[in-house]
Amino acid sequence: MYGVHPPKKSDEVVAGGKTEVIRTYQTWKGSNIFFLGGRFIFGPDFKSVFLSMFLIIAPVAVFCAFVGRKLLDHFPHHLGILIMAILIAFTIYSVSLLVITSGRDPGIIPRNTHPPEPETMDQSLEIGSSQTPQLRLPRFKEVIVNGMTVKVKYCDTCMLYRPPRCSHCSICDNCVQRFDHHCPWVGQCIGLRNYRFFFMFVSSATLLCVYVFSFCWVYAIKIMKSEDVSIWKALIKTPASIVLIIYTFICVWFVGGLTVFHLYLISTNQSTYENFRYRYDRTENPYNRGVFENFKEVFWTSIPPSKNDFRAVVEREAEMLGRTPRGSFVNSNVEKTPSDVEMGNNRKPMERFDRRRSGSWDLASDIGSFGSGYGESNRIMGGSSGSLGGGALTSQNRQ
Ligand SMILES: [Zn+2]
Ligand SMILES: [Zn+2]
């Protein structure tokens, strides 16, 4: 399901009783920028993509103009062309990966329009009040992943319990599944749905650096041999090569370092976010399934479909519903009468589950899809509470 949000131009919609087609992306509450009618979603800092593109294309253009062209003379005809063709193809490949990483949904979890309903009454808040008992949502819940307890936090902005490994990006203002980090060079969150492309982009940029670096030296050596001079004198004869050698040498530390770091993260099944917070220093990582399985998870599993349909037409009725004023989750919950809650608690588990789904509490489905996305649905263990109705997953309130 996707969230339906109050439109920014609500006055225009209602004015004169005229209905205007409004799509989800136009009512989006995150800080994202959309292109082509919601077909592409970027982060708010998407302009940095152009800088990143420039940093890739400019040195390649310099190489083609000043080094590659000369290599055509030094190498037998076809080999010289092959060197250039591989470089250009590889550049297109790298830039395409950059655009794919930047322009697709990284795994945003749609915001809820209402906070979830609390499961328990907090009697402590009743003290001093003889009126209705007060309810509150616990800040954390505990779920079992692969037999280990994982704490999931409630997100006030998105009004949901974040599935495991999900985090709220402060720049994009969205909860993102398997949040890795917000990449300022890509101008997008790196998460469940674009991590693979991000890694491929970074590693291809590394190879591009190595390629340009190597052929600059090859060209210098060719000059050295043909003119019978030292390598340094040969380099002076090709200042473009000097610039490119220095440039790619600096860049390779950055992108190469990042590639190696992510190879380590993938092999141990950690996200950058988890690694920076030293999550698994003292505790065992519940997601680590061995190097081979971890790599398979990133590169050879199907990427789950987006939870958002940015181009979906927002129903006017739903849109009006979304316009109901949002209080803080505590306030909206304390407004409920005990009888409402009792009714909820007396329902059969499946009824309650359905009711919560319709009320946009999607923890179960989020975690379920998280699991299936990583082939772990059978690994999220069942427990005792059954409060989510599915029976396949345990959610325990932690007061
Ligand atoms: Zn959030
Ligand atoms: Zn972000």
CB 182, CB 190: distance < 8 Å: yes
154 CA from centroid of ligand 1 (Å): 8
pLDDT on residue 281 = 67
Residue 174 CA to ligand 1 center (angstroms) comes to 5
Q: Of 183, 189, 216, 251, which is the active-site residue?
A: 183
User: Which of 77, 168, 229, 271 has the alpha carbon at shortest distance from 85?
Assistant: 77
User: Which-ligand-closest: CA of 106?
Assistant: 2
List, for residues 306-334, the tens digit of each pLDDT value.
988 888 888 765 555 444 433 333 333 43
Give the mean pLDDT of the chain: 75
Helices (H), 33-76: 48-62, 69-74
Nearest ligand to residue 152 Cα: 1
Residues with CB under 5 A from ligand 1 (ion): 155, 157-158, 168, 175
Percent of the chain topping pLDDT 70: 68
Cα–Cα distance for residue pair 84/211, rounded to 1 Å: 11
- The pLDDT of residue 230: 93
For position 356, what pLDDT does the model report? 34
CA of 273 to the centre of ligand 1 (A): 15
Ligand 1 mean position to 229 CA, how many Å? 63
Q: According to the model, what pLDDT value does residue 226 have?
A: 92
Top pLDDT among 284 and 398 is at 284
Q: Mean pLDDT across the stretch 152-159?
A: 90
Q: Which of 15, 116, 103, 13 is nearest to 358 (CA)?
A: 116
CA of 169 to the centre of ligand 2 (A): 5
Annotation says 158 is catalytic:
no
Most confident by average pLDDT, 20-34, 119-133, 170-184, 379-393:
170-184
CA of 63 to the centre of ligand 1 (A): 45
Q: Is the pLDDT of residue 341 over 80?
A: no
Within 10 angstroms of residue 198's Cβ, the number of other Cβ atoms is 26
Query: Nearest bound ligand to CA 191?
Result: 2
* Contact (CB, 8 A) for 53 and 97: no
Ligand number with the minimum distance to the CA of 167: 1
**pLDDT at site 347:** 33
Task: Average the pLDDT over 184-196 and give the result.
Answer: 95
Residue 66 is given by DSSP the state: I
Q: In the chain, where are the structural domains located?
A: 10-397
Burial of residue 77, with CB atoms counted within 10 A of its CB: 0-12 exposed, 13-18 middle, 19 or more buried: exposed
Of 184 and 37, the structure prediction assigns the larger pLDDT to 184
Q: What is the whole-number distance in angstroms between the Cα of residue 222 and the centre of ligand 2?
A: 47
Q: What is the pLDDT of residues 16-52, one digit of tens each?
A: 455 678 888 888 888 899 999 889 999 999 999 999 9
DSSP state of 300: S
Q: Give the pairing type, strands 40-42 and 148-155.
A: unpaired
pLDDT at site 120: 52
Whether the pLDDT of residue 367 is over 70: the answer is no
Q: Provide mean pLDDT across the span 112-140.
A: 60
Position 317 scores a pLDDT of 52
Both tokens of 327, joined, read 């209080």
